[in-house]
A and B are shown apart, each in its own frame.
Chain A
Amino acid sequence: MKVIVDMNLCQDHGQCAIAAPEVFRMDESSRLVFEAEPDESMRQYVEDAIDVCPVQAIFLED
Chain B
Amino acid sequence: MPQTVVVVGASLGGLRAAEQLRAQGFGGSVVVVGDEPHLPYNRPPLSKESLLGSGPDVTAEELAAGLAFRPRASATGIEWLLGQPAASADLRARTVTLADGTVLPYDALVVATGLRPRRLPQAEPAAGRHVVRTAGDAARLRREVGPGTRAVVVGAGFIGCETAATLHTLGCDVVVVEPFPVPMVRGVGTDVGAALLAHHRGAGVRFITGQGVSELRGEGRVDAVVLDDGTVIVCDVVVESVGSHCNTEWLAGNGLDLSDGLLCDNDLHVEGRPDVVAVGDIARFPNPRFDDVPRRVEHWSIPGDSARRAASSVIAHLSGEPLEAPPFAPLPAFWSDQFGLRLQSFGSPGLADSVEVAEGSLDRLTDGAAVVYRRSGATVGVLLVNIPVARHPHYRSLVLASDQLV
Is B388 an interface residue when CB atoms closer than 8 A count as contact? yes
**Residue among B23, B42, B344, B396 making CB contact with A13, cutoff 8 Å:** B344
Of the candidates B73, B301, B390, B396, the one whose C-beta lies within 8 Å of that of A30 is B390
User: Are A18 and B393 within 8 A (Cβ)?
Assistant: yes
A10 to chain B, nearest CB (A): 11
- Which positions 380-404 of chain B face chain A at CB distance < 8 Å? 388-390, 392-393, 396
Is A52 an interface residue when CB atoms closer than 8 A count as contact? Answer: yes
16 interchain pairs, CB-CB under 8 A: A12-B389, A13-B344, A15-B333, A26-B390, A27-B390, A30-B388, A30-B389, A30-B390, A50-B70, A54-B44, A54-B300, A54-B335, A55-B45, A56-B69, A60-B73, A62-B73
Q: In this assembly, does A17 line the interface, its C-beta being within 8 Å of a C-beta of chain B?
A: yes
Inter-chain contacts of B396 with A (CB < 8 A): 18
Per-residue interface assignment for chain A, residues 17 to 53, with 1 indicating a CB less than 8 Å from any chain B CB and 0 otherwise: 1100000001111100000000000000001001110
Residue pair B393, A13 in contact (C-beta under 8 Å): no
A12–B388 alpha-carbon span in the complex (Å): 9
- B157 close to chain A: CB less than 8 A: no
Residues of A within 8 A of B44 (CB): 54
Number of interface residues of A (CB under 8 A): 21
Q: Which residues of A contact B42 (CB under 8 A)?
A: 54-56
7 closest pairs, A vs B, by CB? A14-B389, A30-B388, A26-B390, A30-B389, A30-B390, A26-B389, A51-B304
- Footprint of B on A, CB under 8 Å? 12-15, 17-18, 26-30, 47, 50-52, 54-56, 59-60, 62
B67: A residues at CB distance < 8 A: 56
Residues of B within 8 A of A26 (CB): 388-390, 392
On chain B, the number of residues with a Cβ less than 8 Å from chain A's Cβ atoms is 22
- Is B72 an interface residue, CB under 8 A from the partner? yes
Give the A-B contact count at a CB cut-off of 8 A: 46
The listed residue with most A CB atoms (<10 A of its CB), out of B300, B333, B388, B389, is: B389
User: Smallest CB–CB gap between B322 and chain A, Å?
Assistant: 23
Pick the residue among A30, A51, A54 that contacts B16 (CB under 8 A). A51
A17 touches B393 (CB 8 A): yes
Compute how far the CA of A51 lies from the CA of B45 in the bound complex, rounded to whole angstroms.
16
Nearest opposing residue in chain A for B303, CB measure = A51
Known A13-B335, A14-B393; further 12 A-B contacts with Cβ < 8 A? A14-B389, A14-B392, A26-B390, A30-B390, A47-B23, A51-B16, A54-B42, A54-B44, A56-B42, A56-B69, A59-B70, A60-B73
Nearest chain B CB to A27's CB is how many angstroms away? 7
Residue among B16, B23, B344, B390 having the largest count of chain A Cβ atoms under 10 Å: B390
Shortest Cβ gap from A12 to chain B (Å): 5
Contact of B390 among A13, A15, A28, A47 (CB under 8 A): A28
Query: How many angstroms from the CA of A44 to the CA of B117 in the assembled complex?
Result: 35
* Shortest Cβ gap from A60 to chain B (Å): 8
